[in-house]
Chains A and B, each alone.
Chain A
């Protein structure tokens, strides 16, 4: 049996609207790639509006790091480039033409290929973008020597998609993906699974070191898992890949093409029938949400989970790395003495409210901040939901004062925004901690490169 690590500190926020059972296939026609999904991206288009692309054709690449190419998920026509302030590129929209032409790559068993060949094929196909590195959580640099590759085989975030279900039936591609990743590192490929998983595909994966994790969120965050297995010290680099992306990488070698299929979960209290959909990466969400939103009130649509996801509009697109959509009510209403009067609709981590009396209740939480921003006052609380040997308040303060030495000493390399998201949720001072951590990481990245 594999090794088990118990995560004691953390917290599961129970929300209404978990996706159920079956997977429905949806064929959609509009897709988009969003340069803003990638940290440190300086996008340059390699195609023009009106030009035809195949599935796997590079749509844009990073000006400063040309090994980062983002491929088209479908064959079709580039219809529009949406730009924001200062002509910042926001979306490159693609209309599928149904012909399903694709860019063909060599088919081979990755175990028989050289490291160089694997890297070349990943870069050429654009699927290198699925491999990200810690520190900084940016797309990996193929010239680096990672000490290990980490795959988190489960997601513990609120309402997260069940990984066992979304990867079901793709054993061969998953195994091929692991084989390919194993060639990229001198160290191990770590596959971390949930202690409750029954998926044979995860538990019997070959060529990977399997560790099982037990405990509340954020146990499923790859950053937390790395911290407990092989923490990142200064100068260390590890690479991380999401489970469905391992399958995509595997398919590149088995099928010789970019298979952009993705199973996503549609979740949240405002969804009438939370369920799974099989779509392609970068899908337009309007059709997914058709007849699904059961309220006339304002809702917030989030690509990703409610703690770390990105807000998108009703006619927006799923982000590159996300495998779920969450729809929750907006909280843009006043509540009379809301800070004092107990309300069954409100949820709190603390015993100063009363939600601890009903630990199994599922909540329909809205986006109200439930207070105003204050300085750091209470201490000792963040540590309860932050299972790392890092002092969160001290680290956040060192970032606020731009003290690079201290940020490094206090362990910023090990963190990504998502790891601090629960701390942000429970903060009574309502401090935007993910933003602080991202600023710190960007500052470090700039300083170190």
Chain B
């Protein structure tokens, strides 16, 4: 550790202002602060500060995603070997999936962090840890066969136009990871939907449709509730396993990094819309989506993943406590509404959350207004 410090200290003068390589200052700073919490002391305000910083908080989110990631890697291999009718053991499946998913992670982090560092350099800021999380989310919400160059383009577009143009992490309107997916979805639909993309190197004879696609087509989902919970079915890499996501949710809720109000109200909203739509199932006997019980809606597709990792992003969510209840509830409600009632796309979670991201400042506006009104009323009473 002395050695690393010495190396960093040797480099430092060259990358500081006036140094030969000052264009790499932000990159140096990011590496330096990754290895060492700097020796900076308080100069204004409180003399002591909490031991937890943004890095640690964001890192907890990454840890919470690990179960979904590991399961996703295994599932990629499992689906591949199932489709070509070969039985593979646990490790073989995992290793196959690991090799498929790793490039996606590397491309996502490489492109995203590169852009973040470049912007931090030009603005004279420190590199913000936000992309720690986004960079891991992106591989988890795309189909495994997404070409890497498409991922790179989508990440670049989302980070620049979804985040940096607004001022970087903390200022963005919509969730950058979801924006990446939305760009992929609309710009490269053939790489993002259909029956061919969800399983790596699939045999043509094997169906490969996601349960949501089956439902949209009017068939039954073809999964038992237990299969839905375990998640060994085709889908985006990290979204299928309810159990893995639930472990992540437990980590987020226990540490308080993820907001329980948003999570709870999102699931409540989804369940209520599921119940309402399920109530119409008798009138439209040919629609298998309506026939799906409300609680099964919460288990399949991207609902659980969206409700745990996406809608809880504190920057794009409502920021007031009352607002969080409304925000999460409407998010869940709209997700199931879009999922069931639109004829074109099998899933509605992504669009619902993006919509709520844009809507959340409006929710906050009314909550803040009510706080202001309360204060004005108090003033009038006092007179």
B114 CB, min distance to chain A CBs, angstroms: 20
Q: A353-B56, A375-B128 are in contact. Are A366 and B36 (CB under 8 A)?
A: no
**Is the CB–CB distance between A373 and B126 below 8 Å?**
yes
Contacts of B48 in A (CB 8 A): 13, 306-307, 328, 365-367, 425
Partner of A231, one of B1, B56, B255, B378: B378
B-contacting 9-mer, from A22-30, A125-133, A338-346:
A338-346
* Interface status of A234 (Cβ within 8 A of chain B): yes
Once A306-B46, A394-B368 are accepted as A-B contacts, the answer to whether A377 and B38 lie under 8 Å apart by CB is no
| Complex Cα–Cα for A202 and B257 (A) | 43
A446 adjacent to chain B (CB < 8 Å): no
Chain B, interface size category, equals: 35 or more
Report the interface size for chain A: residues with CB under 8 A from the other chain.
Answer: 75
Complex: chain A residue closest to B369, CB-CB: A409
**CB-CB under 8 A for A347 and B51, given A335-B36, A379-B319, A391-B320:** yes
Chain B residue at smallest Cβ distance from A378: B314
Interface members, chain B 240-269 (any A CB < 8 Å): 254-257, 259, 261
Q: Is B17 on the interface with A (CB-CB < 8 A)?
A: no
- Report the bound CA distance from A316 to B341 in whole Å: 72
CA distance A428 to B373 in the complex (A): 30
**Quick check: is B86 within 8 A (CB to CB) of the other chain?**
no
Residues B331-383 near A (CB distance < 8 A): 364, 368, 371-372, 374-376, 378-379, 382
CB-CB under 8 A from B37, the residues of chain A are 334-335, 338-339, 368, 370-371
Check if B219 is an interface residue, CB within 8 A of chain A.
Answer: no
**Given the complex of chains A and B, what is the CA–CA distance between A372 and B319 in angstroms?**
22
**Is A362's CB within 8 Å of the partner chain B?**
no
What is the minimal beta-carbon distance from A315 to any residue of chain B, in angstroms? 19
Query: By the criterion CB–CB under 8 Å, are A331 and B128 in contact?
Result: no
A440: shortest Cβ distance to chain B, in Å?
Answer: 14
Instruction: Find chain A residues with CB under 8 A from B5 CB.
Output: 334, 336
Selected from A306, A337, A432, the residue in CB contact (under 8 A) with B36 is A337
Chain A contacts for B49, CB-based, 8 A: 368-371, 424-425, 427, 430
Contact B375–A351 (Cβ < 8 Å): no
The residues in B between 49 and 97 inclusive whose CB is less than 8 angstroms from any CB of A are: 49-57, 59-60
Distance of B280 from chain A, by nearest CB (Å): 37
Residue positions of B touching A, CB distance < 8 A: 1, 4-5, 33, 35-42, 44-57, 59-60, 126, 128-130, 167-171, 254-257, 259, 261, 314-315, 317, 319-321, 324, 364, 368, 371-372, 374-376, 378-379, 382
New A-B contacts (10) at CB < 8 Å, excluding given A234-B379, A311-B47, A374-B126: A306-B46, A308-B45, A336-B5, A336-B36, A349-B52, A374-B170, A389-B374, A394-B320, A409-B376, A434-B45
Give residues in A with beta carbon < 8 Å to B.
13, 231, 233-236, 300, 302, 306-309, 311, 326, 328, 330-340, 343, 346-353, 355, 365-381, 383, 389-391, 393-394, 409-411, 417, 421, 424-430, 432-435
